[in-house]
Amino acid sequence: MSKRYFNVAGPCVPGKHYMLDPLRGIGGELMGLIDQGQYFVMHASRQSGKTTLLLELVDRINAAGDYYAVYCSLEAVEVFTDPDKGIPAVVERLRLALRDGGMPDGFAADSGGVGVTSLLRDSLTAYCKTLSKPLVILFDEADCLSNGTLITFLRQLRDGYVSCRGSAQFVHSLALVGMRNIRDYKARIRPDSATLGSSSPFNIVTEVFTLRNFTETEVAELYAQHTAETGQVFERQAVNYAFERTQGQPWLVNAVARECVEKLTNRDYAVPITQSMAEQAVHNIILARGTHVDSLLERLKESRVRKIIQPLIMGEEVADRGDDDYMFTKDLGLIRDDRDHTEPANPIYAELIFRALTQKAQESIKNAGEKYAPPKYIKDGKIDMDILMTGFQEYWRQNSEIWRKRYKEDIYEYDEAAAHLVMHAFLQRVVNGGGHVLREAAAGTQRVDIVVEYYGNKYPVELKILQSESSRSESLSQIRGYIDKVGADDGWLVIFDKDPGKSWDEKIFMKEETVEGKRVTVVGC
């Protein structure tokens, strides 16, 4: 039995966990910045390998012997909103980090009576003067600091940096590490109209790094470590599927492998990991909604995240990609840029976002009783999509205003996307226990593509907000292409008409058309 395993909790440890080189591709660049005495920012979404990288970097710096390097997490300081308590807490966290890291004694030894506006700077200045080598500090979870503590913290670092530049009397090199870019630190502290003056604490940062996900080759390399130790093979299709669904997000990559090895095969290393196992592992992860996942989904409630996610759900344009809210949502790891549009960071997150926002709708449809129960739409093991669409039209006509109100007041103000979300809930309710709903949401495409898979049969559906007759024609062409893409015979185009001047009798219709030899049912709602 292998002593190593796929880690899904905390930083990876060499010899204990399967892991790639944390500094792959950026180790030389980071050491170059440190040698130059630079202050820099590193950011990435939660559970993407930041802490593992920092601990490895500290070990390598100290092993080289040119500097003293220390890792210091500021997560515990988050509770202190007042700098009068926050800054002393930062100093205490740093003191413990230096002690636990085996650094020389003496930090903050004579800090009694020093005010909080200079406590950190004075403590670091005094300590650095006693050291035989320059000091490097990597501050993890720096973006956890509350606004008042954060600005005081950064001002003192800037003051020490400027006052002692070029000497060994202050921190030689420093990294601020967290989920957010330095740009978002600014956005949190003050509105754009305000100013921090000419001595802004942010202008000491010379570089900003974003940690990338694993490539498909790296996922294969990680999984191959397990094969080398145990003989258990990850079939190529399983590796490809794991990468496609996770897009290399480190926590998800490890979670899929762990689910396959420890649960689906019960550590029977003679059993190869197949694509069907990887598919089941992904499904289990989605249903389990662990702590990492829940912390991401909690962000959906934030107005600046909703501003980006709501149009994405509807296929509409989002804010300018340089917008702070857009970059913030991207930094959280919820979205990614793909050529000319924006989409969820990976298919697993897309599914989790839709499930989180449709859970109450699914429960409501379930509680409606037999009228909308799944058996009504199933015939001979297949979904009768025409009957299903008629059922949805009836449900939406009766409940649209209720759901718009609920999504406005109870479900994080996603009322603009209510029609799309209720449609997703309706489809999910039908296939639960017997199929899957695969979703392709991308902002800027003016459409949302769905394929319902049920016992080997595929039913492509496109959702569209009615813009004009020309957009309707374009949608017919798009759904025709989507039918070919998923390998189906028929398709369904659902058009939501938001014109308040039209009656429901005008909006509700179902019309069958033939587009290049394929049947497309146009469903008006």
Q: Are residues 326 and 267 in the same domain?
A: no
- Please give the model's pTM, rounded to 2 decimal places: 0.89
Q: Cβ neighbours of residue 434 under 8 Å, at least 6 residues apart?
A: 374, 454, 455
Please report, rounded to a whole number, the percentage of residues in the chain having pLDDT higher than 70.
92
Q: What is the pLDDT of residue 191?
A: 43
Q: Are residues 429 and 333 in the same domain?
A: yes
pLDDT under 50: residue ranges of the chain = 191-201
Residue 519, phi then psi, degrees to nearest 5: -80, 130
CATH for 230: 1.10.8
Q: Are residues 99 and 45 in the same domain?
A: yes
Q: Which of 210, 232, 252 is a domain's end point? A: 210
Q: Is 43 part of any domain?
A: yes
User: Whose structure tokens read 């069907």?
Assistant: 276
Q: Are residues 423 and 374 in the same domain?
A: yes
Q: What is the CA radius of gyration of the chain?
A: 27
Residue 120, phi then psi, degrees to nearest 5: -65, -45
Q: What is the pLDDT of residue 99?
A: 96
Q: What is the pLDDT of residue 194?
A: 38
Could you give the CA distance from residue 99 to residue 256 in angstroms, rounded to a whole number?
Answer: 38
pLDDT (tens digit, 9 = 90+) per residue, 393-447? 999 999 999 999 999 988 889 999 999 999 999 999 888 867 889 888 888 787 8
The dihedral region occupied by 245, where left means phi > 0, alpha psi between -120 and 50, and beta the remainder, is alpha
Q: What is the pLDDT of residue 193?
A: 36
Q: Is 183 part of any domain?
A: yes
Q: What is the pLDDT of residue 204?
A: 59
Q: Are residues 66 and 85 in the same domain?
A: yes
**Domains in the chain: how many in total?**
3
Q: Is 1 part of any domain?
A: no
Q: Are residues 39 and 187 in the same domain?
A: yes
Q: What is the pLDDT of residue 371?
A: 85
Q: What is the pLDDT of residue 332?
A: 86
Q: Is 305 part of any domain?
A: no
Would you state the structure tokens that stand for residue 134, as one six-digit string? Answer: 């320059």
Q: Are residues 67 and 138 in the same domain?
A: yes
pLDDT (tens digit, 9 = 90+) per residue, 144-198? 898 889 889 988 998 998 887 666 789 999 999 987 766 555 555 554 433 333 3
Which domain covers residue 476, as residue numbers? 319-524
The 3-class secondary structure across 280-347, one letter per residue, is HHHHHHHHHCCHHHHHHHHHHHCHHHHHHHHHHHHCCCCCCCCCHHHHHHHHCCCEEEECCEEEECCH
Distance of alpha carbon 132 from the chain centroid: 42
